[in-house]
Every structure is written in C-alpha cells, then in structure tokens.
Amino acid sequence: MDTDVLVVGAGPTGMTLANELLLAGVSTVLVDKLAQRGDLSKAGGVQSRTLEALDQRGLLEPLLATGDHPVTTGHFAGVPLPLHSNRHRLPWRSVPQVVIEGFFEQHLAAHGLHARRDHELVGLAQDDDGVTAAFANGATLRSRYLVAADGAHSTVRSLLRAEFPGQPGTVTITSADVRLGGAVPSTSHTWSEDGHWAALFPLGTDPQGRQLRRLVLGGPDRSLPREVPVTEDEIRDGLSTVFGTRVHLLELRYARRITNASRQVERYRHGRVFLAGDAAHVHLPLSAQGMNTGMQDALNLGWKLGAAVHGWAPKNLLDTYHAERHPAGAAVLRNVRAQSLLMDWAGTRDPDVLAAREIFTALAQLPEVQQHLADLTSGMSVRYPMPGTETHPLVGRPAPDLDLGPARLHELLRSGHGVLLDPADTFATVAGAWSDRVDRVGQGADTEPMLIRPDGYVCWAGADDLEPALNRWFGEPR
Ligand SMILES: Cc1cc2nc3c(=O)[nH]c(=O)nc-3n(C[C@H](O)[C@H](O)[C@H](O)COP(=O)(O)OP(=O)(O)OC[C@H]3O[C@@H](n4cnc5c(N)ncnc54)[C@H](O)[C@@H]3O)c2cc1C
C-alpha cells in the first residue's frame, strides 16, 4: 500500500476528512485535479453543528480569528428565523467557503499533510485488499480505502457507475458576490409583485473594511442555461426589478448560475470506496446546508476509517456510515425541496403556492415552529439510527456541551477518542479495557453516565449494558 486512505478532492469535505484521518493517526494522501486552490466563493455560512464539530477539534477559535465572521440569522424558505441565533450554543456564522478551505489547507500543511495538486483521478479498480487509483498525469496510487470527495460532478461516482437518482435541474437562478450601495434592506428576502425576488446575506468585509454580500436573484424570466455568463447589466436589472432605485450595484466580484437539481446516491459505500459531500448529494444552496452536510459526512466517516485501519473496527462499523449519513442527507434534500416550493423559487406566482406560503409565513412566527426549523437546517436535529434511541432521548444525538469542571465535554473530544462520562465511577473496571480508545471522566462529571463517539454523538446513556455498547462502537477490548 502507498497509503491507508486516498481522499480524492480537496474541497471542504475532503479537507475535513483528511483532518479527521490525521487525528486518527492514519496515513492519508489528499489529491485534487486543480493546480491550485480555487478562489471562487460558494458557501457562505457555517451551521451550528459544524461549528460545534470544529470546536470539538480545537479549530473553531483559530478559524474565527481569521477575520470578521458575524453571527447572522437564518431563514427557511426566505422567512427569517430570529430564534436561530438563540437556540444553539454556537449560532450560524458567515464564514465564506474560501476562508474555510484556506484555513484547513494551512492547518493540514502545518501537520505535514499537503494536497497533491494536478492529480486528476481518471481510473480506479478495487479488490479484496485495496484500491488502485490512476491519475491523468500518469501516476498511480494504491490505498486500503478511497473516499470520493470530488464534488457534484464526481469522477469516482461515474467510474463506480453508482446510481444518482433524483430530480434534474429545470430552472437556474443567479448567485453573485457584490458590494451594494443605497438603502440595502436588512431582511434577507424581498419579493416583487411579478414573482422576481432577491435574497441577501452578509459575507463579512473585505480588507478595506467594505461590506460584501451574497446576492441571489430569481424570477420568471431569469432562468438561463448555466453556461451563459452572468453580466453586470443582468445584476443591475435584477436589483432594479426588485428594489427600484433604492439599491444599486457598486461592485460585482463573482457570479454564477445554479440549478435546482436534487440528487442523492443510492449507496454511500461501494466496497472499499466511499462517497461523501457533493459527490453523494446535490441540492439547491438554501439555508446554507451543502458544505455543512459534506463536512458532517467527513466527520462521521473519519474515525470509522481510522478504526478499520488500526484493526479495531467492529464488524459493520464502516456500514454505519451509509446507515447514518444517507438518511441525514435525504432529510436535507427534503427540506430544500420544501423551501424551494414555498419560496416560489421559480417565480411562478402559482396561487396555490402563494396561499401555502401565506399560511407557512404565519406559522413561522411561532417560537416552536422557528425552533423546529432552526434545528432542521442547522444539523442539530440529526439523530442517527442506533440501538438505544428508543430508550434514551440523548442516544443518536450530538452530545450536549456539558461543563465538566476543568473542561467542557467538547474540549475532551479533541483527542479524537471516545469519551465515557462516569460520574459515580461505576464503570472504571469495564471501561479500563478500552482506555486506548475511550477516555473516561469519573467523579466530578455532574451528569448521567454517557458514552460519546469520537465524532461527538452519544451512542449510549443510562446505567445498563455499557459493555455491549463499548463492543459495538469500539470493538474488542485490548
Ligand atoms: C452559489 C452557491 C452557494 C452555496 N452556499 C452554501 C452555503 O451557504 N452553505 C453551505 O453549506 N453550502 C453552500 N453551497 C454548497 C457548497 O458550496 C458545496 O456543498 C460544497 O462545495 C461541497 O464541498 P465538497 O468538498 O463536497 O465538493 P467541492 O467543493 O466541489 O470540492 C470537490 C473538489 O474535488 C476536486 N475534483 C473534482 N474532480 C476530481 C478528480 N477527478 N480528481 C481529483 N480531484 C477532483 C475539485 O477540484 C474540488 O476541489 C453553495 C453552493 C453554491 C454553488
């Protein structure tokens, strides 16, 4: 083997995974077809669950120190969710994808992991022991596992002939990074009577301290083929259709067309090859979920591959990647479809849709509804299917960030190990056999007993049957 894991694609998914593999002590090669990292802006927002996960790796503070990354309110179908910023410990932040990629690139490099660029994967073959990858530059590489993090047009997915069912793109809208002048509204979505709409999100400030914004424009006659370049005139026209003379364009930095294609691979695992991020699921960028979902895929898979490489992975651990992340991805696709319908994304002005939207907008003023929607879009409502979910409300969910006295629970996860909270020192003997994989926190933890996986999800809680849970998630004891 040349390496344990080959990660194809150095976008946010691939780099998050590479970092998890680094933490797990697994040899990793990260490749990308591009000669250098792109500077095009895509995702602009990081959700609560992703922020938590970054905190669990000690990366949140340094990431936020890279610039001005304000907390912003979220939305569902264009209806602002004011409670979003109060609901979770770490509310949604504006952090552009380019910043996240640059941050991870530097962090990985500081730990000796440099992406091999100009490495376009063009072929792969797998057997019982590993995967052989071939690159356009003539190189080949043999690894025990391969992860496709090569984006929406994944080559690996095509080479696997993996089914990618769903809805093809039928309409496009325009997404642009801009500086605006005039009376720019604070609300994120504005509709005009004829079905045109504009959405605005803060993107922080440029080095000169000037406010940057993501502007998204849609409407009945705005759907042009993706290949047609977006012009400044088109952006100006879109702004004046929705805002009249109130808002004007000062600078257009970057623009692209995006489609409403919505697809998800049927299987996230193909033998020794795994699909993650946009390679596994594509959908409209509504409520800032695509990059976040990909990073969560990586966090789910990383420690499991580490366990497999180190030889302690319980039978079927690698299969739980599909079992857990496929439903999570499907739920994102469903909420995005509901949003695109309710916000009349295509600008149809269909009276049925407008009537449904009117009722939805009224419902979305209710705190319970806002909380539900905020949980849904922030990744916080994800509950992985696993034994124990039927008997304990915490099992399968992200671990609460408990204050354990000397440290917060999330800080303890920085080791990349599992954590056992054992307040009455009941389980010291049984857990001792797993002490190379699970850190036990004994007396002083003012909580009920709980076992947390390295990715921050509770996999057991209560008082009974700890040993089967340790076996199920952390394999045979030493
Ligand atoms: C306008 C817009 C706004 C968005 N806003 C948000 C948002 O606010 N929040 C959010 O969470 N998401 C958002 N998204 C979605 C987000 O950008 C994607 O979900 C995210 O980029 C997916 O990351 P990834 O690493 O899976 O794939 P990518 O970012 O596409 O990275 C894939 C990498 O693989 C490389 N690659 C491809 N093929 C090969 C090959 N054959 N060999 C080697 N390397 C290869 C590519 O060069 C690339 O670097 C937005 C998307 C768009 C277009």
In tens, the pLDDT along 15-62 reads 999 999 999 999 999 999 999 998 777 888 899 999 999 999 999 999
Final residue of a structural domain among 212, 227, 259: 259
- 268 in the same domain as 138: yes
Question: What pLDDT is recorded for position 15?
Answer: 98
Residue 398 belongs to some domain of the structure: no
**Atom 26 of ligand 1 has which residue's CA nearest to it?**
277
Residue 345 belongs to some domain of the structure: no
- 275 in the same domain as 255: no
Question: What pLDDT is recorded for position 297?
Answer: 98
Residue 316 belongs to some domain of the structure: yes
Residue 364 belongs to some domain of the structure: no
Beta carbon of 290 within 6 Å of any ligand 1 atom? yes
Quote the ligand 1 centre to 321 CA distance (angstroms).
20
Atom of ligand 1 nearest to the CA of 276: 26
Quote the ligand 1 centre to 291 CA distance (angstroms).
7
Beta carbon of 219 within 6 Å of any ligand 1 atom? no
Q: How much of the chain, in percent, has pLDDT values that exceed 70?
A: 99
Beta carbon of 9 within 6 Å of any ligand 1 atom? yes
For the chain, the maximum distance between any two Cα atoms, rounded to a whole number of angstroms, is 72
Final residue of a structural domain among 293, 310, 336: 336
Supply φ then ψ for residue 404, to 5 degrees: -105, 25
Q: To the nearest whole number, what is the mean pLDDT of the chain?
A: 93
| Candidate from 37, 278, 335, 336 with most ligand 1 atoms within 8 A of CB, to mutate | 278
Atom of ligand 1 nearest to the CA of 135: 42
Quote the ligand 1 centre to 12 CA distance (angstroms).
7
Across the range 60-85, mean pLDDT stands at 84
- 235 in the same domain as 99: no
What is the domain-level CATH number for residue 30? 3.50.50.60
Residue 319's identity, in one-letter code, is D
301-333 pLDDT tens trace? 999 999 999 999 999 999 999 999 999 999 999
* Cα–Cα nearest to 297, from 59, 71, 11, 1: 11
Asked whether the predicted pLDDT for residue 348 surpasses 90, the reply is: no
Q: Strand 140-148 to strand 131-135: parallel, antiparallel, or no bridges (unpaired)?
A: antiparallel
Distance CA 81, CA 172 (A): 25
Structural domain boundaries enclosing 61: 3-167+262-336
| Candidate from 32, 42, 157, 273 with most ligand 1 atoms within 8 A of CB, to mutate | 42
Asked whether the predicted pLDDT for residue 227 surpasses 60, the reply is: yes
159-198 pLDDT tens trace? 999 999 999 999 999 999 999 999 998 767 888 888 899 9
- 212 in the same domain as 196: yes
Quote the ligand 1 centre to 319 CA distance (angstroms).
24
Residue 349 belongs to some domain of the structure: no
Question: What pLDDT is recorded for position 187?
Answer: 63
Residue 246 belongs to some domain of the structure: yes
Q: Strand 189-191 to strand 438-441: parallel, antiparallel, or no bridges (unpaired)?
A: unpaired
Question: How is residue 362 written in tokens?
Answer: 């009224």
- 240 in the same domain as 102: no
CA 233 to chain CA mean position, Å: 34
**Atom 53 of ligand 1 has which residue's CA nearest to it?**
42
Q: How confident is the model at residue 83 (pLDDT cuts 50, 70, 90)?
A: low
Beta carbon of 96 within 6 Å of any ligand 1 atom? no
- 184 in the same domain as 163: no
Asked whether the predicted pLDDT for residue 85 surpasses 70, the reply is: no
Quote the ligand 1 centre to 150 CA distance (angstroms).
8
| Candidate from 16, 150, 377 with most ligand 1 atoms within 8 A of CB, to mutate | 150
Question: What pLDDT is recorded for position 357?
Answer: 93
Across the range 365-385, mean pLDDT stands at 93
Supply φ then ψ for residue 451, to 5 degrees: -115, 130
Distance CA 56, CA 140 (A): 35
Residue 396 belongs to some domain of the structure: no
- 126 in the same domain as 26: yes
Q: How confident is the model at residue 268 (pLDDT cuts 50, 70, 90)?
A: very high
Distance CA 266, CA 325 (A): 12
Atom of ligand 1 nearest to the CA of 150: 34
- 279 in the same domain as 154: yes
- 191 in the same domain as 143: no
Question: What pLDDT is recorded for position 450?
Answer: 96
- 272 in the same domain as 225: no
Please provide the distance, in angstroms rounded to a whole number, between the alpha carbons at the two ends of the chain: 26
Question: What pLDDT is recorded for position 86?
Answer: 64
Atom of ligand 1 nearest to the CA of 119: 43
Question: What pLDDT is recorded for position 106?
Answer: 97
Final residue of a structural domain among 321, 336, 351: 336
Residue 368's identity, in one-letter code, is E
What is the domain-level CATH number for residue 237? 3.30.70.2450
Quote the ligand 1 centre to 407 CA distance (angstroms).
35
Quote the ligand 1 centre to 126 CA distance (angstroms).
25
Beta carbon of 121 within 6 Å of any ligand 1 atom? yes
Beta carbon of 398 within 6 Å of any ligand 1 atom? no
Q: Structural domain tally of the chain? A: 3
Beta carbon of 97 within 6 Å of any ligand 1 atom? yes
- 249 in the same domain as 204: yes
Supply φ then ψ for residue 360, to 5 degrees: -60, -45
- 279 in the same domain as 158: yes
Across the range 349-359, mean pLDDT stands at 93
Residue 324 belongs to some domain of the structure: yes
**Atom 33 of ligand 1 has which residue's CA nearest to it?**
9
Atom of ligand 1 nearest to the CA of 256: 1
Quote the ligand 1 centre to 362 CA distance (angstroms).
35
Residue 274's identity, in one-letter code, is F
What is the domain-level CATH number for residue 469? 3.40.30.120
Beta carbon of 31 within 6 Å of any ligand 1 atom? yes
Beta carbon of 255 within 6 Å of any ligand 1 atom? no
**Atom 9 of ligand 1 has which residue's CA nearest to it?**
288
Distance CA 379, CA 451 (A): 20
